[in-house]
């Protein structure tokens, strides 16, 4: 299955943690994200269920996530079309951008390591 580059933007501090974790685990950032998705996507969906119900109104445009105090770093992932579609669908269900959802997954996956 061919993979293509998918660009996301995540907080600089989180990006540094992701790079360190990928190196320590001897894996790629993409594999770390896919692991995070399998470990945390159901819990995230359950936690956010019902929070975005707008009485039948269409979702509002997503506000841009701002990290004025810490900066933002590009994070390049290599995903198949199917993987990208699944992640985008999960992000849309939570009314998040792909980058916000990827950040949340990485934060969950690395939460124990940064404590």
Per-domain residue ranges of the chain: 3-47+68-114
Mention every residue, 6+ apart, whose C-beta is less than 8 A from residue 78: 3, 4, 5, 6, 28, 30
- pLDDT value at residue 80: 96
The domain over range 3-47+68-114 is classified in CATH as 1.10.1220: yes
Percent of the chain with pLDDT over 90: 61
pLDDT in tens, 21-37: 999 999 999 999 999 99
């Amino acid at each position: 299955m061919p993979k293509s580059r998918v660009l996301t933007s995540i907080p600089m501090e989180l990006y540094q943690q992701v790079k360190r974790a990928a190196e320590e685990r001897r894996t790629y950032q993409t594999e770390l994200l896919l692991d995070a998705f399998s470990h945390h996507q159901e819990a995230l969906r359950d936690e956010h269920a019902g929070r975005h119900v707008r009485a039948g109104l269409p979702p509002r445009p997503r506000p841009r996530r701002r990290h004025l105090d810490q900066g933002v770093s590009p994070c390049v992932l290599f995903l198949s079309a199917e993987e990208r579609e699944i992640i985008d669908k999960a992000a849309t269900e939570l009314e998040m951008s792909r980058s916000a959802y990827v950040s949340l997954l990485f934060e969950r996956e690395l939460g124990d390591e940064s404590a």
